A and B are shown apart, each in its own frame.
Chain A
C-alpha cells in the first residue's frame, strides 16, 4: 500500500529576490500612486515657485544674492517635504495595508527596509540635482536681470552641504516613520522636532549657560545651520555627528527593531 505523496511547492532552489529589484520596486512605489506622484511633482514645483519669488524680490529690491542664497531658498520646500516623503515611504506600507504583500514576497524585513532606504537616498540625489540646476538657472537669471555678475562662491562646498542636508532630512524622516509606523504621528512629531523644539532649546540656552554649551551637540536642527550657510567647518562637523546620533541613528535603530517585530495587519 502506498500513500499518495503530498504535493509540495519546492522553492528551495529559487534564488532570493535580488536587492536591486527590491530597490527598483520601492522607487516605483514612491511614484506610481496619485498621492506619491503629486507629492514629487509638488516638491519640484514649489521649489521653482519659491525661487522665482526670491528672484523677483532680490532683483526688485536690489539685494546682493549668491548661489548659496538661492540654494537656501530652494531648501525651504525641499527641507520640509523630503522628510515627509521619507516618513510616508515607511508608514504608507502600514496604513495602506500593503505590508502583508510586501513582507510575504520578501520575508526578510530588514532587506525591504534597506531597499526603501536606498530608494530614498537615490531620490534625495535626484532632488539634489534638480535643486542645484534650478538654483543655477535662477542665479544666471539674477545675473541677467540685476546687471551684477552672478556670484557662485565655492560650488563644490554648496553641493556637499546640500547633499548632506537633504540626505539627512530624508533619513530623519525615514527614522521617524519607522518609529511610529503611522503617517499622522510620524509627521506631527517630525514637525514638532523640526519647528517647535528649536524655541524651547533657544530659551533654555539663554537661561542656562551649561545648556548653551551642550546645545550644539544635542540640537540636530541647530547643528545643521552651518550646512545651510555652507560655512560648516571643524568642530561643527562633530556637532552634526553627535546630535545626529540622538535624532537620526537612535530613532532609526528603534524603528528597525520595531519593524522586525511589528504585527503585519
Chain B
C-alpha cells in the first residue's frame, strides 16, 4: 500500500534573486523627493528664494553704492538655502510615515538601514544640487552688480566654499536626524526651527548672564561652532567644539532615530 506524497506547497523561491543594488535605492529616493507636487515645489521654492534674495542684494547694494563681493552673494544664498534644505531632509524621512508609503518601501526592501542610508545619500545629492545652483546664481548676480555700476569683486576662496558646503550639508543632516527621531513632519519642523532660530539667542543670553554657562556654551552651540568654519583653519579647541556639539545635535538624535526606525511599527 502506497500513500501518495502530499503535493509540495507552491513556494516562491527568491533565494537566487540578487538584492536591490544601493544605487537603485538612492535613485528611487531621489525620485521620491522631487516627483510629487510638494517635493518639486520645495526644491523649486528653495532655488527661487535663493535667486530672489541674491537679486535683491545685488540691486539694493548697487543702487546704494555699497561694496559687494562674490562671497557675500554666496552667503546670501546660503542663508536662504539653510532655511529650506533641512525641511527637505525632514520631509524625506517623515513623509514616508505620514503618507503611509513606509509599508511599500519596507516590503520591497526589508533592510530598513539601507533605506535610511539611501535617503541620506539622496539628501546629500540634493544639497549638492542646491549648492551648485547657489554658486551659479551668485555668479549671475555678481555680473548684474557689475552691470549696474558696482565694482566686481570675486573674492570667495576655497575656505568659504568648503565651509559653505559643510554647513549646508550639516543643516540638511540636522533636519534629517530630527526627522528620524520624531518621525512626524510638524513636530520635526517645529523642533528644528526652534533649535535653529530660537536656541542660539537663549544660549547667548544664558552665557551673558552666567559665567559658568559661558564656559560651556562653546561645547553646546553647534551653530556657533559651524560658523567658525568660515574662518578656517580652526584651532584644536574649535575642532573640539565642532565635534562635541555635533555629537549632541547630530549624532545622538540620528542614532536614537535610526534605532527607532528599525523598531517602529510600519502603519
Write the residues of chain A forming the contact surface with B, with a CB cutoff of 8 angstroms.
35, 57, 60-61, 63, 76, 80-81, 84, 88, 95, 182-185, 187-188, 191-192, 195-196, 199-200, 204, 207-208
Which of chain B's residues has its CB closest to A46's CB?
A: B194
What 6 A-B pairs have minimum CB-CB distances, sorted nearest first? A195-B197, A191-B193, A187-B189, A183-B186, A184-B185, A61-B209
Bound together, the chains give a CA A207 to CA B64 distance in angstroms of 8
Bound together, the chains give a CA A63 to CA B209 distance in angstroms of 9
Q: Which of A63, A95, A188 contacts B87 (CB 8 A)?
A: A188
Across chains A and B, the number of contacting residue pairs, with CB separation under 8 Å, is 58
Interfacial residues of chain B within 171-208, with CB under 8 A of chain A in the complex: 184-186, 189-190, 193-194, 196-198, 202, 206
Q: Which of B61, B64, B189, B210 contacts A184 (CB 8 A)?
A: B189
Interfacial residues of chain B within 53-94, with CB under 8 A of chain A in the complex: 53, 56, 60-61, 64, 66, 79, 83-84, 87, 91
Q: How far is the CB of A184 from chain B (nearest CB, A)?
A: 5
Contact A185 B38 (CB under 8 A): yes
- 6 additional A-B pairs beyond A182-B38, A195-B198, beta carbons within 8 Å, are A57-B206, A57-B209, A60-B210, A184-B185, A195-B193, A200-B53
Let me know if B98 is at the binding interface, CB within 8 A.
yes
Contact A196 B197 (CB under 8 A): yes
A195-B197, A207-B60 given as contacts; is B190 within 8 A of A187 (CB)?
yes
- B202 — which chain A residues lie within 8 A by C-beta? 76
A61-B209, A76-B198, A184-B87 given as contacts; is B190 within 8 A of A208 (CB)?
no
- B: contact size bracket: 20 to 34
Contact B185 A183 (CB under 8 A): yes
- A196 — which chain B residues lie within 8 A by C-beta? 83, 197
- B87 — which chain A residues lie within 8 A by C-beta? 184, 188
Max chain B CB contacts within 10 Å: which of A88, A184, A196, A200? A184
- B91 — which chain A residues lie within 8 A by C-beta? 184
Q: How far is the CB of B193 from chain A (nearest CB, A)?
A: 4
Bound together, the chains give a CA A79 to CA B206 distance in angstroms of 20
24 sampled A-B residue pairs with Cβ under 8 A? A57-B209, A57-B210, A61-B210, A63-B209, A76-B202, A81-B190, A84-B186, A84-B190, A95-B98, A182-B38, A183-B186, A184-B189, A185-B41, A187-B189, A191-B193, A191-B197, A192-B83, A195-B193, A200-B53, A200-B56, A204-B60, A207-B60, A207-B61, A207-B66
